[in-house]
């Protein structure tokens, strides 16, 4: 079999189609016309998402002695957002084309300007805005039709309780990070962890983005997997850099384990003027998506900004007391911040493969395979009785029951075996176990490998052992 090369636009269309057809992700509220780029996870997508989150938790919380987890409230006291600076500065800048009414974020327009042939003379924001008048709209090509930039606050606002008063105004969190700072002292007390150590959280975050799109890349409701790693106040640059480098390596290891294509990943050092107000250093881990190279994850050295700000605003001490020296100080923080949806998109784009194969009838056909690492595959194994005759389904069902304690198992009796193999290839199931009429006599099944399509005849009592060896 040979791999078929695709252009990036084709790849994006194909991945979106596969995701919808096979039940990974589909538009939310679709029977009412959808809701501006909201997406629901279907039966296959929810398994992939759970596997990714569970693996992250296992690698970064359960397997490390220097990490603990929390699961905090989405709605927090509004003073949290005053202290963190979000109430004042969590804005997006919108520029609209007056002719076609397409709305753009200013930074997207700047990237477009800088990639155009008649490149602007400057990379400074003020200068870029001045030069925008001579650039055509990327959508309708009309020149000089952009509106003045407008600022929009990107936190979702709601009320606590039934009465709408300014005192009742609350916000949906735009990042999971703040709870890890606000709860820091309590977590030190109950976990008895000593510096350096980290707090991790996986959860929903909400941003009222002015433009959404590119499938699940930019959403208003999404999930984050974040770590706040607390260290002693550094005496030298090296003291925090060693932790920063460690987390950069950990992110790369993670990308490797989940099968993200290395050739599409770039580390980008973010210059001071583009960094968030709290960050002393930021490295964006960018991915070459079919619609351009954009942020996948962020890694930031947040200094002692957050804990100090919460101490100041709350009047409570969040200082750490060194048990050996008795000294008290505000710890500094390294933050690896990973988006779940962008992870899923990068994983799907990396795993999607088309191969030319010869069918049982000797005809050439295209096989779509999602070459997911088995550790995150929605199902590890599919049990496929050749027909739905009772004697076969009974045997298949008892194999399913045998395996479900150890593996996530799909069970499918519909359609021809060829079509069922194709479906399992497309949802990335590493192994298919076929129960046929010979199985009734020889007590063996056929196990087919997703990637090589090689088939082994295996004794039923040895299936678990076989899969355990293969799925390491
Ligand atoms: P961008 O520049 O793309 O808006 P950001 O720098 O604002 O991203 P962060 O605040 O660093 O993003 O958030 C951490 C991570 O959360 C990002 O690296 C990304 O994986 C994810 N993320 C942020 N915003 C969104 C969104 N609107 N939709 C989906 N994931 C997001």
Residue at which a domain ends, from 134, 153, 172: 153
Instruction: For residue 466, report the distance from its CA to the centre of ligand 1, in Å.
Output: 41
pLDDT at 102 over 90: no
* Structural domain includes residue 370: no
> Are both 70 and 128 inside the same structural domain?
no
Distance between terminal CA atoms of the chain? 25
d(CA 266, CA 262): 8
| Residues 7 and 131 grouped into a single domain | no
Q: 221 CA to middle of ligand 1, Å? A: 11
Q: How far is the CA of 284 from the centre of ligand 1 (A)?
A: 10
Query: Residue 7: its pLDDT value, please?
Result: 67
pLDDT of res. 108: 79
Instruction: Using the atom order of ligand 1, give the atom closest to the CA of residue 297.
Output: 18
Residue 196, preceding bond cis, omega within 30 degrees? Answer: yes
224 CA: nearest ligand 1 atom = 16
Nearest CA to ligand 1 atom 31: 339
Q: Do 162 and 301 sit in the same domain of this protein?
A: yes
Using the structure block, give the residue that is written with the tokens 């501006």: 36
From ligand 1's centre to the CA of 208, what distance in Å? 12
Asked whether residue 367 is assigned to any structural domain, the reply reads no
- Eight-state DSSP code of residue 460: G
Q: How far is the CA of 341 from the centre of ligand 1 (A)?
A: 10
The domain total for the chain is: 3
Pairing of strands 431-435, 444-449: antiparallel
pLDDT at site 26: 95
**Does residue 371 fall inside a structural domain?**
no
Residue after which a domain boundary falls, among 138, 153, 168: 153
pLDDT at 390: 94
Q: For residue 359, is it within any domain?
A: no
303: Cβ below 6 Å to ligand 1? Answer: no
Strand ranges (E), 259-363: 265-269, 281-289, 292-303, 320-321, 328-329, 332-339, 352-358
Interatomic CA distance for residues 339 and 203, integer angstroms? 10
Which residue has the least CA distance to atom 24 on ligand 1? Answer: 218
pLDDT tens readout for residues 426-438: 999 999 999 999 9
Spacing, Cα 431 to ligand 1 middle (Å): 35
Both 180 and 96 in a single domain? no
CA of 339 to the centre of ligand 1 (A): 7
**pLDDT at position 174 over 70:** yes
Hey, whose CA ends up nearest to atom 11 of ligand 1?
298
SS3 76: coil
Pocket lining: 108 vs ligand 1, CB cutoff 6 Å: no
Q: Given this model, what pLDDT does residue 5 score?
A: 59
Ligand 1 contact, 218 CB (< 6 A): yes
pLDDT band per the 50, 70, 90 thresholds, residue 316: very high
Same domain, 179 and 34: yes
Say whether both 77 and 168 belong to one domain: yes
Whether 372 maps to a domain, the answer reads: no
Domain containing 66: what range? 2-87+157-349
Q: Cβ atoms within 10 A of the Cβ of 2, count?
A: 8
**Predicted TM-score of the model (pTM):** 0.92
Same domain, 327 and 284: yes
pLDDT digits (tens, 9 = 90+) for 47-74: 999 999 999 999 999 999 999 999 999 9
Ligand 1 nearest atom to the CA of residue 337, by list position: 14
Does residue 86 have its Cβ closer than 6 Å to ligand 1?
no
Pick the more confident residue, 162 or 72.
72
- CA 187 – CA 211 distance, rounded (Å): 37
Considering all CA atoms of the chain, what is the largest pairwise distance in Å, rounded to the nearest integer? 80
User: Does a structural domain hold residue 179?
Assistant: yes
* Minimal-distance CA residue to ligand 1 atom 21: 339
What pLDDT is recorded for position 437? 96
Cβ–Cβ < 8 Å for 240, 301: yes
Q: 368 lies in a domain?
A: no
Regarding the beta carbon of 429 and ligand 1, being less than 6 Å apart is answered: no
Side-chain half-sphere CA neighbours of 65 within 13 A: 2
What pLDDT, on a 0 to 100 scale, did the predictor assign at position 92?
76
Are residues 396 and 331 part of one domain? no
CA distance 354 to 332: 47
Could you write out the DSSP letters of every residue in 404-417? TTTS-EEE--SS-H
- Beta carbon of 47 within 6 Å of any ligand 1 atom: no
Cα 119 to its chain centre, rounded Å, is 33
- 274 belongs to a structural domain: yes
pLDDT over 70 (residue 251): yes
CATH code of the domain containing 317: 3.30.930.10
Claim to verify: residue 216 and residue 345 sit in the same structural domain: yes
Q: What CATH number does the domain containing 407 carry? A: 3.40.50.800
Residues 223/341, Cβ–Cβ less than 8 Å: yes
SS (H, E, C) 243-267: HHHHHHHHHHHHHHHCCCCHHHEEE
219 lines ligand 1 (CB under 6 A): yes
The larger pLDDT score, comparing residue 122 to residue 50, is at 50
Q: Rounded distance, CA 12 to CA 28, Å?
A: 19
Closest-lying ligand 1 atom to the alpha carbon of residue 216: 29
Question: What does the pLDDT read at residue 1?
Answer: 55
Same domain, 262 and 141: no
Q: Which of the listed residues 333, 349, 365 is the one where a domain comes to its end?
A: 349
pLDDT for residue 222 is more than 80:
yes
- Tell me which residue has tokens 């599409």: 264
**pLDDT at res. 6:** 62
Verify that 165 and 107 share a domain, yes or no.
Answer: no
| Whether residue 19 is found in the same domain as residue 119 | no
* pLDDT over 70 at 120, yes or no: no
CA distance 414 to 430: 19
Query: Beta-strand (E) ranges in 290-404?
Result: 292-303, 320-321, 328-329, 332-339, 352-358, 364-370, 381-385
The distance from CA 2 to its chain's CA centroid, rounded to whole angstroms, is: 30
Rounded percentage of the chain residues whose pLDDT exceeds 70: 97
**Contact yes or no for 278/308 (Cβ under 8 A):** no
182 contacts 80 by C-beta, under 8 angstroms: yes
Q: Is 105 in the pocket of ligand 1 (CB under 6 A)?
A: no
Give, for ligand 1, the residue of 265, 334, 342 to mutate: max count of ligand atoms closer than 8 Å to Cβ.
Answer: 342
């Amino acid at each position: 079999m040979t791999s078929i090369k695709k252009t990036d636009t084709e790849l994006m269309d194909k991945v979106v189609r596969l995701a919808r057809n096979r039940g990974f992700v589909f538009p939310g509220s679709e029977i009412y016309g959808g809701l501006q780029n909201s997406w629901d996870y279907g039966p296959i997508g929810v398994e992939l998402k759970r596997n990714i989150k569970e693996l992250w938790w296992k690698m970064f919380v359960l397997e490390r002695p220097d990490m603990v987890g929390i699961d905090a409230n989405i709605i927090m006291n509004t003073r949290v957002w005053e202290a963190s600076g979000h109430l004042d500065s969590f804005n997006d800048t919108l520029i609209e084309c007056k002719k076609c009414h397409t709305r753009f974020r200013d930074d997207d327009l700047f990237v477009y300007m800088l990639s155009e042939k008649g490149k602007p003379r400057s990379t400074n924001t003020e200068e870029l805005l001045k030069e925008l008048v001579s650039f055509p709209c990327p959508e309708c090509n009309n020149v000089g039709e952009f509106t003045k930039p407008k600022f929009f606050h990107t936190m979702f606002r709601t009320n606590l309780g039934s009465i709408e008063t300014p005192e009742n105004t609350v916000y949906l969190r735009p990042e999971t990070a703040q709870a890890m700072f606000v709860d820091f002292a309590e977590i030190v007390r109950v976990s008895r962890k000593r510096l350096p150590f980290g707090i991790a959280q996986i959860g929903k975050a909400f941003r009222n983005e002015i433009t959404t799109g590119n499938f699940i890349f930019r959403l208003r409701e999404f999930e984050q997997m974040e770590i706040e790693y607390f260290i002693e106040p550094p005496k030298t640059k090296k003291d925090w850099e060693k932790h920063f480098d460690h987390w950069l390596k950990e992110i790369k290891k993670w990308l490797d384990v989940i099968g993200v294509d290395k050739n599409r990943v770039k580390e980008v050092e973010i210059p001071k003027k583009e960094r968030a107000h709290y960050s002393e250093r930021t490295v964006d881990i960018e991915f070459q998506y079919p619609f351009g190279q954009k942020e996948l994850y962020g890694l930031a050295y947040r200094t002692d900004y957050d804990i100090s700000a919460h101490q100041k605003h709350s009047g409570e001490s969040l200082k750490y007391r060194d048990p050996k020296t008795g000294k008290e100080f505000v710890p500094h923080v390294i933050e690896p911040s990973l988006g779940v949806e962008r992870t899923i998109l990068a994983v799907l784009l990396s795993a999607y493969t088309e191969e030319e194969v010869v069918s049982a009838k000797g005809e050439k056909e295209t096989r779509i395979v999602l070459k997911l690492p088995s550790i995150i595959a929605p199902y590890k194994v599919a049990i496929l009785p050749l027909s739905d005759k009772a004697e076969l389904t009974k045997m298949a069902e008892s194999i399913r029951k045998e395996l479900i304690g150890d593996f996530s198992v799909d069970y499918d009796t519909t359609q021809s075996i060829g079509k069922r193999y194709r479906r399992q290839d497309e949802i990335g199931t590493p192994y298919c176990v076929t129960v046929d009429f010979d199985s009734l006599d020889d007590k063996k099944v056929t196990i087919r490998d997703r990637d090589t399509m090689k088939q082994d005849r295996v004794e039923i009592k040895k299936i678990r052992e076989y899969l355990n060896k293969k799925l390491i």
